[in-house]
Structure 1
Amino acid sequence: MKAPFKEKIQNTFDYLHTHPEISWEETNTTTYIQNTLEKAGCRVKTFEDCTGVIGDYGNFSGDFPIIGIRADIDALWQKVDGELQANHSCGHDAHMTMVLGVLWNIQGDEDLKDNIGIRFIFQPAEEVGAGALKMVEKGAADEIDYLYGIHLRPIQETANGFATPSILHGATGSLAFEIRGDDAHGARPHLTHNAIEIGNHILNALNTIHLNPSIAHSIKVTKFHAGGKNLNIIPGSASIGLDLRSQTNELMEELHERVNEILHTTSELYGVPIEVTKDYGIAAAEVSEEAQAYAHQAIVNVLGEEKANPPLVTPGGDDFHFYTIKKPHLKATMVGLGCDLQPGLHHPDMEFEKDSLFNGIEILTEIVKLHSRKDG
């Protein structure tokens, strides 16, 4: 690795790491990447109503494959050293750096530039599960044939120096609802239905959901607010939140239906309105075997056969998979990069081995080169 290129990558990561911006507020990040893409000779597109930027490079004539490489650009909002702030604890600063590194890696290769089209997609708002859908709406995936992403992996999943050709994320769901009854005096429980008891009924009913045990899934209560300062008031209202997980989209749909059935029957049983106030989620991975094969070969070529791990099954989620859900023609996979990441993703003090960025850059670059060769 030549010293000037290594220094450029390190400086880029340092800038992005020290200038984090939360979902839908990545204005400075968008401008920084836009300027970088334009300087590198990309045809650049930004959007009036949202952050994010797309850069096209190479041949888009229709006679050659067009691949997309996506990086997420938003940071989390969390407490770091006692202060709430934007923080890149999920590795998006690294993802942006690696994708820019691919562009710089292939600059000057005129044969490659003539034989392939590359769309660099810098997507906002992954952390709220909405950015990929917005990019699809903006046409980011319309012309491309293949789509690749990359994500740092915790040390518990992938060791430093290793990589996996696909991350098999599960589906995730967040569902919040309100029990909307009337309060009553503590001495007159017959005048209302206690929202805490209704909520407890719902929680017990959730434990009666039994789905296919061979497919990983779970449902957890993550919020339950009821009552106030006066302990002699029976609360008629409550706010409850659930986290749903499933390894497949089909089982997530079944789990979601069962939860809604429980809410509906509970509302009828107690005669109290129950209103869903939030209902969103992220799709499970829909991986293309062909794209996965390209990624596997690239890992073998760069790191060696012994460093190519099998596909990684993980309960985490990523809105990357909405691209293939919304655009079924896309052949997509997300590479998982081992990098000694500790103590974990989303931990405010997350750290990883920075030299692993170059492994990611070389793997993604090799994927591009494999696609540009007629023999694949």
Structure 2
Amino acid sequence: MELKSMVPPLSETLSRHYNHLHANPEVSWSEHETTQYLVQELKALGLSPQRFEDMTGLYVDIGKGTPRVGLRADIDALWQEVDGEFQANHSCGHDGHMTMALGAAQILSAKADRLPGAVRVVFQPAEEKGNGALALLEKGVIDPLSYLFGVHVRPLIELPEGIHSPALHHGAARMIRGTITGVEAHGARPEEGINAIEAASALVDALKRIWIQPGKSGSIKMTQIQAGGTAVNIIPGTATFSLDCRAQQNETMDLLMAGLDKAIASVQALYGVTIDFHIGAAIVAAQVDAEAADLMKQAITQVVGEQRCGAEIVSPGGEDFHYFTFHKPKLKTTMLGLGCGVTPGLHHPKMTFTSSYLEDGAFILARAAQLALEKLEEEAK
């Protein structure tokens, strides 16, 4: 059945959703008003959204029986400086993701009795913190699903405007914070101290010597360092630092982490410092399922035409969506890449995109869910 023939044009409704969500951003784990708005709009469709007692976010089932297919949208905003002031800001497109998921819910609910099964639409908190997907896994929200589809708006550097991709191959990421502890001393007697800045410099140099296999993509670099006070005649005994680690495959990330352990051990031995660190956020690399990507490709082609279906995208960015497959290897997943002219780029405080393409995304997601249900029904015969 053609989903576009089942509902009136969504452009006005989606514009209302997007304008409201864009104007009311909330940061990770604080998406209270956002959750309330989503609940309100889903109830208006005659659906029964399910909230969580101890956290933000929600899910809703559409159709009859146990849901076997899911759609997931993230709901949090970033905290960043905009025009000189720090504020919550939807510069990663999650306002658009929620809008598309609401649209897909409206499309699917219009003929829920004709769907060959049930679809679970999940609105996930705290993607930007990298632990929202893990929270949903703990609550068992994903357990009944065989397929799960996500979506992300894409920058022009990856996709031309109006071209949509059936899969996003995100990389793995680690955000690490650490402390170097040496010995403070007077600047006139450096031999009595252990300079934390010099140890940090040695660590930077050691990180450059972590080798990975040629042809594999990965990087590890120091992005923050703080040491010393206002006096310039004191050898600093303490320094704090941050590392950004990226790899296109999970195995490469494992090699980078092993190299980091060796680098830290060598600097500790050479300088006599103590280096403690912890991983503040960790994202695994994508494990795209070929069947799920093929269904998404079919959905794109059927909704907007073959000429507007782009290639699968390999992106160095991270997404906690991929934890779902990492922890449930039998779950078949892919993410729709929506080519909507994101500029200047994701996470830029002035990021913008052409919101009219959100209607494409809503219909593509709904169609992908329907195709997955039909495939499961056929396999069950």
Same fold per superposition (TM over 0.5): yes
Instruction: Quote the residue 1:5 is aligned against.
Output: 10
The whole-number CA distance in structure 1 between the counterparts of 2:277 and 2:245 is: 15
Shift of 1:216: 1.1
- Note the alpha carbon deviations across 1:245-301, whole angstroms, 9 max, x for none: 100001101101110121123223322211114443100001111101100111111
Task: Please tell me whether the aligned partners of residues 199 and 273 of structure 2 are also in contact (alpha carbons under 8 angstroms).
Answer: no
1:83 and 2:88 matched: no
Instruction: Quote the residue 2:24 is aligned against.
Output: 19
1:41 and 2:42 matched: no
Instruction: Quote the residue 2:110 is aligned against.
Output: 108
Task: Please tell me whether the aligned partners of residues 178 and 277 of structure 1 are also in contact (alpha carbons under 8 angstroms).
Answer: no
Matches within 5 A, 1:1-376: 5-61=10-66, 66-113=68-115, 115-373=116-374, 374=377
For residue 46 of structure 2, what is the amino acid of its counterpart? G
Shift of 1:78: 1.4
- Note the alpha carbon deviations across 1:159-194, whole angstroms, 9 max, x for none: 111111100001111112111122100111111111
Shift of 1:4: 6.3
For residue 116 of structure 1, what is the amino acid of its counterpart? G
Shift of 1:81: 2.3
Task: Please tell me whether the aligned partners of residues 45 and 109 of structure 2 are also in contact (alpha carbons under 8 angstroms).
Answer: yes
The whole-number CA distance in structure 1 between the counterparts of 2:260 and 2:280 is: 11
- Note the alpha carbon deviations across 1:190-238, whole angstroms, 9 max, x for none: 1111111111111111111111120111112101111111111001111
Task: Name structure 2 gaps, 5 residues minimum.
Answer: none
Task: Please tell me whether the aligned partners of residues 217 and 252 of structure 2 are also in contact (alpha carbons under 8 angstroms).
Answer: no
Which deviates the most, 308-317 or 263-272? 263-272
Task: Name structure 1 gaps, 5 residues minimum.
Answer: none
Task: Please tell me whether the aligned partners of residues 147 and 372 of structure 2 are also in contact (alpha carbons under 8 angstroms).
Answer: no
The whole-number CA distance in structure 1 between the counterparts of 2:365 and 2:52 is: 26
The whole-number CA distance in structure 2 between the counterparts of 1:108 and 1:311 is: 31
Task: Please tell me whether the aligned partners of residues 59 and 121 of structure 2 are also in contact (alpha carbons under 8 angstroms).
Answer: yes
Shift of 1:111: 4.2
For residue 70 of structure 1, what is the amino acid of its counterpart? R
* 1:4 to 1:366, Cα distance in 2 relative to 1, 3 A: closer
For residue 94 of structure 2, what is the amino acid of its counterpart? H
Shift of 1:70: 0.3
The whole-number CA distance in structure 1 between the counterparts of 2:177 and 2:152 is: 29
* 1:311 to 1:5, Cα distance in 2 relative to 1, 3 A: closer
Which deviates the most, 200-209 or 43-52? 43-52
Partner SS for 1:29: helix
The whole-number CA distance in structure 2 between the counterparts of 1:249 and 1:339 is: 29
TM-score by length of structure 1 reads 0.95
Task: Please tell me whether the aligned partners of residues 112 and 372 of structure 1 are also in contact (alpha carbons under 8 angstroms).
Answer: no
Task: Please tell me whether the aligned partners of residues 70 and 120 of structure 1 are also in contact (alpha carbons under 8 angstroms).
Answer: yes
For residue 364 of structure 1, what is the amino acid of its counterpart? L
* 1:38 to 1:272, Cα distance in 2 relative to 1, 3 A: same
Task: Please tell me whether the aligned partners of residues 341 and 350 of structure 1 are also in contact (alpha carbons under 8 angstroms).
Answer: yes
Partner SS for 2:222: strand
Task: Please tell me whether the aligned partners of residues 63 and 113 of structure 2 are also in contact (alpha carbons under 8 angstroms).
Answer: no
Partner SS for 1:201: helix
Shift of 1:349: 1.2
Partner SS for 1:295: helix
The whole-number CA distance in structure 1 between the counterparts of 2:373 and 2:194 is: 67
Partner SS for 2:355: coil
Task: Please tell me whether the aligned partners of residues 150 and 334 of structure 1 are also in contact (alpha carbons under 8 angstroms).
Answer: yes
The whole-number CA distance in structure 1 between the counterparts of 2:263 and 2:64 is: 54
The whole-number CA distance in structure 2 between the counterparts of 1:170 and 1:210 is: 18
- Note the alpha carbon deviations across 1:59-118, whole angstroms, 9 max, x for none: 224xxx6111000000011122222211111110000000010111122314434x1211
The whole-number CA distance in structure 1 between the counterparts of 2:241 and 2:83 is: 30
Partner SS for 2:174: strand
Partner SS for 2:337: strand
Task: Please tell me whether the aligned partners of residues 173 and 247 of structure 2 are also in contact (alpha carbons under 8 angstroms).
Answer: yes
TM-score by length of structure 2 reads 0.94
For residue 68 of structure 2, what is the amino acid of its counterpart? I
Shift of 1:31: 1.2
Task: Please tell me whether the aligned partners of residues 75 and 98 of structure 2 are also in contact (alpha carbons under 8 angstroms).
Answer: yes
Identical aligned residues as a percent: 44
